């Protein structure tokens, strides 16, 4: 099995920084030992641009842009950094005509309702960097659900994936009121349920379920977040995110998304 270049680059980055962490002093400053737990929870809205290709239906690319909702939070204590992310988007993909080689046959793609939900819980430990530029590495449990419903037909498509991910976070504490954080996540083991064809001649119990790995499920998820404190308990944030995934069974499915979000967060 050969890993793709994005995985190699991510793993190399982690290994290099872990080496740097062990090369640094492991002494914990006295101030850090008495540091209080910091909680933060945020709510926001944004806009997503996405495309997908679901070949259990038709091997064609579909695109959509729509509003999304997100909820996020984190808990930080000494060298442990916990993060929670939830996202939901729903929209419609317009119908279009598909060309055919048959002289008397034309197929019109019907309008599709599309829904995506994801939940991710990650726990990282500080592995490199300083108090201004700390880096964390750990793992995450992630659930992704993709659902599409073709209007005025009996065809539905659903994909549900639960995965264990490698997870990293790099923070930059610009000053007391400003903070920038980048996080990335790559699945290495999971379980997925995908009906080969839900509707018409197939029944729901004929879905395909399988353990997933690098071989049959490849993905990378990333977010860049900027927080600006308004006061000690209230802040404003902006974020940019990207998501790419490819699952191979029973037929290939590819998803790509870029999103922009803004919201408010509360610290206590």
Query: Residue 40 belongs to what domain range?
Result: 5-24+36-95+106-267
- Residue 101 belongs to some domain of the structure: no
In a domain, 206, yes or no: yes
CB 214, CB 247: distance < 8 Å: no
CB 157 within 8 A of CB 198: yes
The rounded distance, in Å, linking the Cα atoms of 244 and 51 is: 10
Find out whether 175 and 149 touch, Cβ atoms under 8 Å: no
Residue 145 inside a domain? The answer is yes
Q: Global pTM?
A: 0.79
The rounded distance, in Å, linking the Cα atoms of 122 and 168 is: 9
- Give pLDDT, residue 54: 87
Task: Please say whether the beta carbons of 86 and 70 come within 8 A.
Answer: yes
Instruction: Tell me the two tokens of residue 184.
Output: 């990335």
What pLDDT is stored for residue 27 in this prediction? 41
Our count of domains for the chain comes to 1
| Contact indicator for 26, 57 with CB cutoff of 8 Å | no
Would you state the structure tokens that stand for residue 256, as one six-digit string? 């790509």
Domain CATH for 67: 2.40.128.90
Residue 218 within a domain: yes
Q: What is the mean pLDDT for each group of 10 consecutive residues in the chain (268 residues)?
A: 52 52 41 64 96 83 94 93 96 72 56 93 96 96 91 77 97 93 96 71 59 92 95 93 93 94 94
Nearest CA to 159 among 201, 114, 127? 114
């Amino acid at each position: 099995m050969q890993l793709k270049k994005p995985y190699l680059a991510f793993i190399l980055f982690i290994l290099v920084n872990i080496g740097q962490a062990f090369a640094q002093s492991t002494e914990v400053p006295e101030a850090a030992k008495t540091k209080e737990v910091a909680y933060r929870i945020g709510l926001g809205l944004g806009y997503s641009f996405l495309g997908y290709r679901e070949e259990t239906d038709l091997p064609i690319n579909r695109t959509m842009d729509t509003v999304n909702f997100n909820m996020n939070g984190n808990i930080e204590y000494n060298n442990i950094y916990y993060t929670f992310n939830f996202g939901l988007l729903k929209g419609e993909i317009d119908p279009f005509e598909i060309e055919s080689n048959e002289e008397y046959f034309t197929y019109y793609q019907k309008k599709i309702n599309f829904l995506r939900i994801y939940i991710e819980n990650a726990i990282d430990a500080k592995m490199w960097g300083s108090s201004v530029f700390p880096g964390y590495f750990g793992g995450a449990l992630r659930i992704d659900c993709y659902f599409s419903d073709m209007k005025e037909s009996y065809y539905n498509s659903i994909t549900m994936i639960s995965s264990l991910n490698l997870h990293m976070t790099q923070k930059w504490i610009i000053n007391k009121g400003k903070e920038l954080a980048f996080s990335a996540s790559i699945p290495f083991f999971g379980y997925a349920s995908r009906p080969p064809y839900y509707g018409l001649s197939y029944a729901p119990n004929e879905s395909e379920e399988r353990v997933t790995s690098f071989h049959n499920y490849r993905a990378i998820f990333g977010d860049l977040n900027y927080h600006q404190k308004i006061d000690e308990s209230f802040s404003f944030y902006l974020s940019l995110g990207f998501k790419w995934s490819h699952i191979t069974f029973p037929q290939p499915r590819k998803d790509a998304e870029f999103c922009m979000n803004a919201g408010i967060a509360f610290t206590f």
